[in-house]
Amino acid sequence: MTKAELIAVIAGAADITKAAAAKALDAYIGAVTKTLKKSGKLGLVGFGTFSVVKRKAREGRNPQTGKAIKIPAKKVVKFKAGKELSEKVK
């Protein structure tokens, strides 16, 4: 699903315009980003938990040449689905 398709679904479900749905989605994404940057964790009961984890530096391989390369350490966002979401997807 693309962002445009998600906006259309939100607009239809909430009976609002696509512009209002786009604004709401952008506000949600901004709030999640800001919270993860500040505290590193965001939980939505029934949906899941977003968290920031540190990934260690490691060695990888260039698939074209097979040459070893160094992959630097970085922070990545992890999502763990909540119980309700997991049950609905089964």
CA distance 31 to 35: 6
Q: What total of structural domains would you count in the chain?
A: 1
Q: Is 40 left (phi over 0), alpha (psi -120 to 50) or beta?
A: left
Average pLDDT of the residues in 44-58: 95
**Residues of the domain holding 64:** 3-89
Model pLDDT for residues 55-69, shown as the tens digit of each residue: 999 999 999 999 999
Q: Kindly report the CATH number assigned to the domain that includes residue 52.
A: 4.10.520.10
Which secondary-structure segment (H or E) carries 53?
Answer: strand 48-55
DSSP bridge partners of 78 = 51
Please report the sign of the dihedral spanned by the C-alpha atoms of residue 15, residue 19, residue 23, residue 25. Answer: positive
pLDDT at 62: 93
